[in-house]
Structures are given as structure tokens and as C-alpha cells.
Structure 1
Amino acid sequence: MSTLGPVVGYRRGSVDLHPPGLPTACRAYIWERSRLEWHSRDGGDPLRLLCDFLASHGVQISDFSGSPSVTDRSVCGAAVLLSPPSVTASPAPAVPDLAAVVYEHRHSVGMEVARRPGAVTGPWTPSWTPEEHAAAVQAVREAIARGDVYVVNLVGHASAPFSGDPREALARLAGLPGAKYGGVLHGDDWWVASASPETLVEVAGGRVTTRPIKGTRPATPEGRAELLASAKERAEHVMIVDLERNDLGRVARTGSVRVDELFAIRRWSGLWQAESTVSAELRDGVGLAELLAAVWPGGSVTGAPKRAAVEVAGRLEPVGRGPSMGAFGWIGHDHTGRASVDLGLSIRTAAISANRAHLWAGGGIVWDSDPRAEVAEAAAKTAPLKRALSGGRAAG
């Protein structure tokens, strides 16, 4: 793509794979109108670029508390992919750091595409060995001992050769059990699919909600009991909940931030995960740019304090996070024309580009983290994604 600026405005037409968050009622009636693809090398503020692009297509979100925000009712909404900021190069550089695709209401006839089923065709190659991963966990523990941070989310990466058409493989991935933000978005030379269960930010009726996930165990009765009893997992989880309360407090009416649910156990594929719900009333004058600046990147994939945790992780992670650990979902409007936002955190996310598939997985590291257990947890998170991309076969 262009190195001189973002790619804007070309039309692709009918849609055969749905982005995450697309309203069910719209699935047979959307047509791509225009898109924005931006890479960090292009320069500029991605949040401002996103807001200006949406406004140019009739979705003006400068104030969630104001009058109806959609001025063009033919627009259904926009799929958004927003990668986290990174000082390390992504292993999938063709994937934009920001992609926004505006869809309009129009009968979609589907796309008949000549294809041969695609799948991973070779072994997965990690960007760090289990020993290097464990050493990074130990380095975080030392940073915690020095008082630099309280918790850091470390993210690793693996890639494998991929051949054929990605559609079926990515549809399998997006359809994994528990994938609240299951969906696919693609450009001319890149594909991204998510099976994420985690809400980064949702806005409906003037209230903003985030649902951080921290704490993972196998989806067995023993795993559930162990997760509920783990003081380590609960302490890490509560730290992130406090961070999210603080993030929402930056855009909330005074006194309106609340924890609606704490440490609830949910199932994703073959894993139990602990999830909390934090919400607040947005104060007057808050628009999309201010909201995203407050919550992105999500606290459950950074750590706390957020800025210090990001710096520690950036020094230790072997490659950039690419489209993972960012935002992936839908920005549209309700039946009254008021803006609505439903963005998932792009965990459990894969990218395909240049005939390679890419996966990322991470976990929160605290003082009493066991390096070997953290390596095993990352492997457990990627195992269902690898099976999906390999056609249901076991993948190395």
C-alpha cells in the first residue's frame, strides 16, 4: 500500500465474510461503500483519522450525548480494526494499523469466488522459544520487584506457511465457541480474523461498558474450581479492573463508574476465563476520539501502570503485536440514529498475508507468576486457533 498516506475511498462491493459486530439484521443487506487503510509510517493521529473518515460518510461522533449522530441513514455502519501502538515491527506488515470500512444498506447477492480451500501447510514457527518466553516472564518479575510495574501482559507470536483461499479457514476460526467478536476483515493482500470473547468498549444509550478478561484454566470442573480459588489470578484480575475503572473515569460523569460484575467465569472454546463488567455514564461532550484515547489499548493486554507496562513489554517481546491486542468491531447507530460502538479486544486473532498465517497470544505476569505455567497458558490459547487454520487437524 501507499507509503505517502492512507488509502481512502475505493469501493469493493458485496460482502461474503462478515466483520465482527455487524448487526444480524444487516447481514444480507450490506455493500462496501468506502474504506480507509492507514499504516503508522503514513504519519498522523489514527484516532483523528478514523473520526474524520467516519464523519465524511455521515457518522459524526463528536458527542455521544448530543442529538442523533448519523446524518446519512443509508449507511449501516463501519467495521474497524485498530492495532495497538508499537515500537517493534509487525511480522505481518501488509496488515494496516488502522482499517475502517463503511457499509451501506443494499441487497447483497453474495460473491461467487473461484477458490480452493486453504489451510496451514507446514509447522508453526514461534518468534521465541519456550525458554526465551520463560526468561521474559522472569524479567517482568524482576521489574515488579524493582517497583517499576505491578503487572505486565507479555505477548508472543508464531507463524506458519498458508496456501489456498483463506475464507473457509478464517470462517472456522471466527466461529469458535465463545467468539463474541467473531468475524473477518480483509484487503487486497491481507486478512484478519478474530474469535475474541472480550469487550474493549461498548456504548449504548449513553452508557459505556468494558469487560476485561484475566485468568485462564482448562474448561474442566477441576479447572473452574482452580480458577475460582486462585489468589494469584484474582489479584491480577482486580488490578486490571481497577485500571479499567480509572480509564472510564477519564470520560465518565462524576461518581457514575461502577463494577457491575466481578470475576465471573465464562467459557471460550476449551478454556474457562474470568471476566468482569465495568460501566459508566459518559459525560457531556465526549466523542469517539476522546473515548478511544481513554480505553485503547485495553488494560488487560497492557498491564499496570499502563504506560510503564507497555514499555517493559516492548523491550521483551520478540516482534510487534500487529493487529492483535488492539480493537476490532463495529461502529454504527441504533434505530434512533444515535451512535453505537461495539469494539472487541483483538485477542484470539489471526492474520494471513504473503502466504503465511500469524497468531499472537499473551498473558498477564505478576510477581508470583510461574514462567512454565505462563508458557503453557499461551499455548493453550492458540491451540484452538491453530486447529481451525489447519482444517481441524492437530497443528504443530
Structure 2
Amino acid sequence: MKPVGLYPTHGLARDIPGIPAACRDQAWERSRFEWRVGDPGDPAALVEAFLSRHNLIVNDLSGRCSSEVPDPEHDICGAALFVSAAGGAVMAGGALGAPSPVPAVPDVVAVVYEHSATVRPSGEPDAPSGQTDGDWRLGAWRPSWTPADHAAAVEQVRTSIARGDVYQVNVVGHAAAAYAGDPLPALRRLTRLAGARYAGILRGEGWAIGCGSPETLLRVRGGEALTRPIKGTGPATEAGRAALLASPKERAEHVMIVDLMRNDLAHVAATGSVRVPRLFALRPWVDLWQAESDVTARLRPGTGLAELLRAVCPGGSVTGAPKLAALAEIARLEPVGRGVSMGALGWIGPDRVDLGLTIRTAAADEGLVHVWAGGGITIDSDPAAEVAEAAAKAAPVRAALRG
């Protein structure tokens, strides 16, 4: 089943998460960087050098500030940036897990967009698709492990915690479904889920990523860095809200990850500048409450994008603590790679860096749509409850894709 809608993004970039509104209908791809695990070089340094060559000042993010509207004398709007879970593990120096089930997607992608006076009429697609959403058919989901396998992995994490190997590990499962038709309208439905802060699509030759993530991995403006880890989930009802706020297990799990993110930002922060101005605040995503916190820091002078990516990738809320030990546990337990999920996707412009963590994210390649979901495991985790939580997170994504 050839995916008619998957083609390189030489046209409009209106789907890119975080692209300025002024650029949405006038941004055209100028240049693209791709890197895969096994390629030579440090991906963080390579992507920083690539963006710098296109006049994006990313070698020092400690204090710049400018307008979101492109300067007529400077035609670069900015760049989309994607980092897979495996790409993030390489940047962190951590263990690599199983191979990605979507090998067509590179592990790091940066796409530079230029601002053009040419405006495509509203509603006109980037390229002819040849099919409509009415032709869309999605087959049955086939998980990479059974609920029993998932529960057994939770028990193995609890054993590792009891031994003192780790404090918390995020365990993630994968499922894929065959499709016929153009996947892009289905991926766009995913981006419209309520609560999606990082809603958008990134495409390449034979692949597309659709993101409906509510989680901020890294935002930098004027030298101030922000990450918003999400950890803690419950039904978006009054009873669910009360139970989540009252749960010592969920709060302990959350605070552990906040401490991890404080430590991550401390590697690039001016001394004494790391703060937690908001802790364990509940925010809805579709039919779930999610607990999130704000962790902020003033960047140390001279801090560039490469150093920032090494500090925060992969995100602590989808790895665990300590991060490197958690990555080793993930590599041991998960039978399928995380692919496009649990990575980063967003925008780098003249005035900001804004990357979402790719939870609630799907990928389409030539014949299959892929989704991932999981949760953080602590010593108090109940295996059956963890399996149910992952299913609750995946359900809105699957429903959007099915249409």
C-alpha cells in the first residue's frame, strides 16, 4: 500500500509545530539535514553547525531576542527540528534500545525554511495527493507486546528498583496498523486533539510524523530555558482530579522527574538560577488530567544548541531516574524501538527554541501507521494499572487516526 501523501516538504510548512503565523503560508523548504544512528559525527554538534550555516544563531542562546516576523533583508524564517528517542540517547551517551520499527525516519532531521513573497491560496495542498480522506482505511492494531508482557516488564522494573539499580523507569509499548489511502488527513486529526501544545506534522521521503503532544521538552526565550515535565495521569473528571491530587504515588513519581529535570538544566544554567515556579499543576489533555511542573533556568553565557540538546535529550519524563541507568533498563526490556516517540519536535527561530516532547505522536511509513504509549514505573506501581494507563493514553491517538 503505497502512501500517496508522503513526499518531501518542498512546499508549504503550515503544519510545522511552532512556526510563526506570519510564515505559515509563505515558508518554503530551503535545505534539510538528516542523521541516522550509525552515521559518523556527533548529531548535536552537526545540527548546530548546519543551522548556523543558515544564519540561525544557535551557538549562543544565552541572551538573544528578536521579532518573530522575518526581516525582509533576512529571508530565513527558522527551522523545524526533530530528534528521535534513539537520537536523544546518543546525545546523552546512553544505551540504545531495539531498532526503530520506522527505519525510514532519520534519527535527527532539521529543515530550514525561507520566507517567500509567494503565497499559496488558502486551502491548497502542498502537493497533489491523488486520494481523499474518504479513501482512508486503517486495519487492526497489532501490538508489539501483549498486556501480560507489559505487566511483566513493570514487575521487572520494580525488581530493579528494589535492588537499587534505578528509582524510576518509563516503560513504553508500540503498536502498528496497516493502512490504505493518504495518511496525512489522519495525522492532521491527531494534531487537533484538545490540549495539544505541539500540534503538527513533519514529512520526508516515504514517511510522516504527526504530533499532538501537550509536553514542553525545551523552550528558550531571551536566555531563559523552560521545561515542563508531565508525570501523573487520571481521568478528566472531578473524581479523577481529586484522586490524582491526593495520590502520594503519583506525586512522588512526579517530583522525582522534576528533580531530574532540575539536574539536567543545571548542566547549562548560570549558578543558582534553576527554579521550579510551578509544581504538580493539573492540565487536561483530551479526556485525561495530566500533572505538569515548570522548571526554569537562566542559561550560562556561551550555551549553544548542541549543549542544550545533550542536557535535556531524551526527556526525563519518558526515561526515568537516574537517566542513564533508566536508558539501560529500557534497552533491556522494550522489544521494539521507540522510533519517533519520546523524542523532540518543534521550531527554532531567530527569537526562540521551542521543542515539544513527542508523546501522543504517530508515524506513517510505506504501509503502516505506528503509535507508542507508556508510563513511569516506581516501586509502588501496580502492573495492571500501568497497562490500563498506557491504553488510556493511546486511545485518543488511535481514535483520531481511525477517524
TM-score (norm 2): 0.90
Q: Is residue 2:239 matched to residue 1:222?
A: yes
Q: Is residue 2:311 matched to residue 1:294?
A: yes
Structure 2 Cα separation of the partners of residues 67 and 193 of structure 1: 30
Structure 1 Cα separation of the partners of residues 166 and 285 of structure 2: 29
| 2:29 equivalent among 21, 27, 32 | 32
SS in 2 for 1:177: coil
Q: Is residue 2:105 matched to residue 1:88?
A: no
Deviation at 1:45, TM superposition (A): 1.4
SS in 2 for 1:13: coil
SS in 1 for 2:347: strand
What is aligned with 2:360?
348
What is aligned with 1:3?
none
Deviation at 1:68, TM superposition (A): 7.0
Aligned 1:60-139 pairs, distance under 5 A:
60-65=57-62, 73-85=74-86, 86-106=96-116, 107-109=118-120, 110=124, 111=126, 113=128, 114-117=130-133, 119-139=136-156
The alignment-based identity, stated in percent, is 59
Deviation at 1:268, TM superposition (A): 0.4
Q: CA 1:326–1:43 in 2, change beyond 3 Å: closer, same or farther?
A: same
Q: Is residue 2:56 matched to residue 1:59?
A: yes
Deviation at 1:65, TM superposition (A): 3.0
Structure 1 Cα separation of the partners of residues 260 and 137 of structure 2: 38
Q: Is residue 2:378 matched to residue 1:366?
A: yes
Structure 2 Cα separation of the partners of residues 250 and 161 of structure 1: 43
Deviation at 1:224, TM superposition (A): 0.8
Aligned 1:1-396 pairs, distance under 5 A:
12-15=9-12, 17-65=14-62, 73-85=74-86, 86-106=96-116, 107-109=118-120, 110=124, 111=126, 113=128, 114-117=130-133, 119-334=136-351, 340-391=352-403
Q: Is the 8 A contact 1:91 1:322 kept in 2?
A: yes
Deviation at 1:153, TM superposition (A): 0.3
Q: Is the 8 A contact 2:9 2:203 kept in 1?
A: no
SS in 1 for 2:148: helix
Q: CA 1:108–1:12 in 2, change beyond 3 Å: closer, same or farther?
A: farther
Structure 1 Cα separation of the partners of residues 350 and 338 of structure 2: 30
SS in 2 for 1:245: helix
* 1:287-312 Cα distance to aligned partner (Å, 9 max, x none): 11111111111100110000001101
SS in 1 for 2:349: strand
Structure 1 Cα separation of the partners of residues 358 and 9 of structure 2: 24
* 1:86-127 Cα distance to aligned partner (Å, 9 max, x none): 331001110111111111111331435232325452110000
Give the CA RMSD over aligned residues: 1.8
Q: Is the 8 A contact 1:90 1:322 kept in 2?
A: yes
Structure 2 Cα separation of the partners of residues 23 and 215 of structure 1: 31
* 1:322-350 Cα distance to aligned partner (Å, 9 max, x none): 0110110001123xxxxx10000000010
Q: Is the 8 A contact 1:183 1:194 kept in 2?
A: yes
Runs of at least 5 residues in structure 1 that lack an aligned partner in the other structure: 1-9, 335-339, 392-396
Q: Is the 8 A contact 1:11 1:34 kept in 2?
A: no
Q: Is the 8 A contact 2:137 2:179 kept in 1?
A: yes
Q: How many aligned positions are there?
A: 377
Q: CA 1:52–1:165 in 2, change beyond 3 Å: closer, same or farther?
A: same
Structure 1 Cα separation of the partners of residues 252 and 103 of structure 2: 36
Structure 1 Cα separation of the partners of residues 166 and 63 of structure 2: 39
1:90 partner letter = S
Deviation at 1:17, TM superposition (A): 4.9
Structure 1 Cα separation of the partners of residues 398 and 43 of structure 2: 31
SS in 2 for 1:41: coil
1:73 partner letter = H
Structure 1 Cα separation of the partners of residues 281 and 62 of structure 2: 30
SS in 1 for 2:389: helix
Structure 2 Cα separation of the partners of residues 26 and 321 of structure 1: 31
Runs of at least 5 residues in structure 2 that lack an aligned partner in the other structure: 1-6, 87-95
Q: CA 1:125–1:89 in 2, change beyond 3 Å: closer, same or farther?
A: same
SS in 1 for 2:341: coil
SS in 2 for 1:254: coil
Deviation at 1:314, TM superposition (A): 1.0
